Chain A
Amino acid sequence: DAKTTQPPSMDCAEGRAANLPCNHSTISGNEYVYWYRQIHSQGPQYIIHGLKNNETNEMASLIITEDRKSSTLILPHATLRDTAVYYCIVRASGGSNYKLTFGKGTLLTVNP
């Protein structure tokens, strides 16, 4: 699976949009971009994933560049409860390859 690069930390004001970047310049054509977050001392929570089109769900939006070498997770209206470590993971689809390789992620701190 391709490696990802994320900033170690970011700050965001409550109520504002949080934009978390991720670089995955070696991504292959069959690899998806997954985002998880881990609130302190809890299990990771799935947020969203995508292949090449932008995706949106009730939690967030995922914007993937046309060349697929980078992506941005957008939390439209960040709250204090969104403070967490956010992990961007690239993973191939299909077959039995469910394995996730976690990097260090980005610690997002939402400030009042």
Chain B
Amino acid sequence: SAVISQKPSRDICQRGTSLTIQCQVDSQVTMMFWYRQQPGQSLTLIATANQGSEATYESGFVIDKFPISRPNLTFSTLTVSNMSPEDSSIYLCSVAGGQGAWETQYFGPGTRLLVL
């Protein structure tokens, strides 16, 4: 498995501002993903972060709202842009394809975002 950290762990933001969330893994991984979990709901995949190319977004999510960077095999960022209260959620990073090309996804602890 892998040890995954996210920063910040939580934040309270004003509407109209943007927040960048960082995801760091302790080993190189092939795949990194970003999920959103709205209050009382299950997890929804936002996008797959591709190293060296644009992220692949799921239906309903767009790059202008959730720009993603993946500069190397151990790090990714997700920005939540022009935030509104509806963006209040837990944002989770997950990884797969580490050494040995394991297919199981492992999740970070999440970033709890409250937008006022």
Residues of A participating in the B interface, judged by any CB pair closer than 8 Å: 34, 36, 41-46, 49, 87, 93, 96, 98-105
Contact = CB atoms under 8 A, between A and B. Distances in A.
Contacts of B108: 43
Given A98-B33, A103-B42, 17 more contacts: A41-B90, A42-B110, A44-B94, A46-B104, A87-B42, A93-B103, A96-B31, A98-B97, A98-B103, A99-B33, A99-B45, A100-B43, A100-B45, A100-B105, A101-B45, A102-B42, A102-B44
Contacts of B110: 41-43
Contacts of B1: 46
Nearest to B111: A43
Dominant secondary structure at the B interface: strand
Contacts of B78: none
Dominant secondary structure at the A interface: loop
Question: Which of A45, A46, A87, A100 counts the most chain B CB atoms within 10 A?
Answer: A100
Interface of B: 1, 4, 31, 33, 42-45, 48, 90, 92, 94, 96-97, 103-110, 112
Contacts of B96: 98
B45 to A, nearest CB: 6
B42 A105 contact: yes
A41 B104 contact: no
Question: Which of A34, A98, A105 counts the most chain B CB atoms within 10 A?
Answer: A98
A41 B103 contact: no
Contacts of B31: 96, 98
A105 B109 CA distance: 19
A39 B44 CA distance: 17
A41 B112 contact: yes
